[in-house]
Amino acid sequence: MTQELDFKMSDSDQTAPAEEKSETVDSRIIEKAPVVPNPMVRVRVSVDDKPVLLYKAEASTDEEALAIDRRKILKQYDSGIISKRRAKELLQVKESRFYTLLRDFKQSTDYRGMVRQKRGPVIGSTRTSAELLEIFQVAYDKKYRGKRAGVAIVLDYARRLCRKKNLEQPTRHAVSKFLATKPEREKFYRKNGESKADQAFDQRDDFRDLESPLESIVMDHTQVDILLVDTVHRDVIVGRPWLTIIICATTRVILGYYLSLTHPNVITVQLALMSAILRKDSQYNPMKTDPEIFPFCGIPKEIYTDNAMEFLKQELIAKCARYGIDWAHRPIGKKWYGGIVERVIGTFMVRGVHFLPGATGSNVQDREGFESELNACLDILECRAWFGEKVTEYHGKKHSALKCSPRAAWNHAMAVGRDDLISMVDESAEKSFMLDFMPSSYDHKIHPYGINFKTRRYSAPVLEKYINEECELRYNPYNLLSVWVLLEDNFYEIPCVRARSNLSADLEVYNKSLWISRTHKDYKNLPDGAICDDFAFDSMDVQEDIVDGAIAKTSAYKELKLNPGSTSNQETPWLLPQPIPTLPNALIEHDAAEDHLADDLDDYKPVILIDTLDE
């Protein structure tokens, strides 16, 4: 038998004075709540694997009693105690039947060989012809599929085939007996599919022996059953969030999670791992929180996941291997191997999320009772805050598998010295760990004013000598107030120096606001240079009229010069050449005595510009 988990209270817990304990116990906590986990463990027992044939009675009790009595009588006759006549009288049979019973007696070893067989057909036999059985098989192979599969659909198709072959129509009883001979798993598979058939019929005895926290952690994704609204435009629904959750398989505590409006990918997996492994008060942890409320963290020995694409990335597996983390994948199609995380997710949905405004339910049938679009009111930030509190509540509830709360199981493991088996990321190495798992962005040009990223500008003196070069940067989606820029094999933290006043530092909020501004008809942002003033629109009309008038005048004038005698010219007399007016007579008829002023008057003669086309 395997060694059971050594979950026992420490001496200090057992000898603590009752007065001291009563001071620290919250009145809301149930008295004598279990604090020592008592999970199921593997028990190994050596047994003989050879089968033993079990006698199965094929007759009634009265028939067996009759066989026993007959055997006693024939045994007396065979021993010479009674005569044949006396034996026939006791057996109440004729001579021919007597010899038949005597033969059975000699060929059998006990009374069971003398039990009378039931009359009628042998169990499992059928009187249906081979040709009809073949038709039943064809109908079964072709029509017995889907939820509605049954006797009726097979019978209808079999009758059609019999009609084509001029055979007698089969009865419902014959088809029912034919279907009864088929294995239950095969019929279940045809009706419900391979996944549900495996779930219902596959044996599950491959349990894993886990003794310490973080020996194995399980991770999975799910789409949360709730509709969220935009942070700014509260009447715009942005969709259902995705949850990536990580659970310790030994203590069932939730080590970390990442709630996002982005479909699961390598980035969301890396951020979830950062939240699970780093200390919760670390400045580099995406879900930074109170370490007293959320003390669960550390480097796991193994990550156990399904075979999703993001869990098969060799680059991610190599990153984890550098920190001593192995990655294991459960068998394909065997969902029950992920039962720990699947059950926690189901509990959060059914007992928490489905009671929130905007909940959608787990399926189409459930959603009929919800008015999801009408009631949606939580945004992504509020959903994260609510989920964090729900996780704290989960840690304080008794777990059916542990027989205590997950927090109590973790605390007990720490109390009995299991904390020595937990590896932590040193504070000096947290920055390096963070840079390994943070999402990256490439080919960003360093301008004289800094780096542009997500409608923000980042700048620092260290960028000066790298102006006009391209760089790689890494960022925390929860906080875009700074980024890390790779310059000559070194990362430098560069702060944000310019951003719009109403721009959120959370990448999820920014991305959805950008999506709304580009697609939503009521909140679509105007492009730069767009006209948004009535006076500007009127001014554009006037400008167009001026230009059109000038073009018409110029065209008509040129046509007049080419065809001076055209009738159209008389309709536009204003286009005809006008004579140049003469100068006033005062400049010519002046007193002779004032001739000496003529030279001075020349300075006051007007300058007349003559169009060259008039010459």
Give residue-wise pLDDT tens across range 214-248.
999 999 999 999 999 988 888 888 889 999 999 99
Q: Are 241 and 228 in contact (CB under 8 A)?
A: yes
357-375 average pLDDT score: 82
Instruction: Tell me the per-residue pLDDT of 94-135, one tens digit each, with 9 for 90 and over.
Output: 988 888 888 888 888 888 778 887 776 666 677 888 899 999
Q: Residue 474: in which H helix or E strand, if any?
A: strand 470-476
- State yes or no: pLDDT of 62 exceeds 90: no
In sequence order, the 6+-apart residues with CB closer than 8 A to the CB of 58 are 115, 117, 118
Tokens of 219: 């991770």
Q: Are 269 and 310 in contact (CB under 8 A)?
A: yes
Closest CA to 328 of 297, 298, 300, 306: 306
* Percentage of the chain exceeding pLDDT 90: 33
> Which residues pair with residue 538 across a beta bridge?
none
512-523 average pLDDT score: 65
For residues 386 and 228, what is the distance between their CA atoms, to the nearest angstrom?
Answer: 13
Find the radius of gyration of the CA atoms of the chain.
47
Neighbours of 280 (CB within 10 A): 20
Residue-range domains of the chain with CATH: 70-114 (no CATH), 130-201 (no CATH), 217-428 (3.30.420.10), 439-519 (no CATH)
Tokens of 55: 């006698």
Closest CA to 442 of 461, 469, 460, 482: 469
For residues 469 and 465, what is the distance between their CA atoms, to the nearest angstrom?
Answer: 9
- State yes or no: pLDDT of 6 exceeds 60: no
- Please give the angle made by the CA atoms of 464, 466 and 469, to the nearest 5 degrees: 140
* Residue 576 confidence (pLDDT): 52
Instruction: Tell me the per-residue pLDDT of 475-489, one tens digit each, with 9 for 90 and over.
Output: 988 888 999 999 988
Tokens of 92: 């109440």
Q: Are 334 and 202 in contact (CB under 8 A)?
A: yes
Instruction: Tell me the per-residue pLDDT of 175-208, one tens digit each, with 9 for 90 and over.
Output: 999 999 999 999 999 998 887 887 788 777 666 7
Query: The sheet that has 479-487: what strands, in order across it?
Result: 440-445, 470-476, 479-487, 490-498, 456-458, 451-453
For residues 420 and 477, what is the distance between their CA atoms, to the nearest angstrom?
Answer: 33
Beta strand 326-329 with 456-458 is unpaired
Tokens of 483: 């980024």
Instruction: Tell me the per-residue pLDDT of 520-565, one tens digit each, with 9 for 90 and over.
Output: 666 566 676 777 777 888 898 899 999 998 999 888 888 887 887 6
Tokens of 123: 């169990």
For residues 144 and 137, what is the distance between their CA atoms, to the nearest angstrom?
Answer: 10
159-186 average pLDDT score: 91
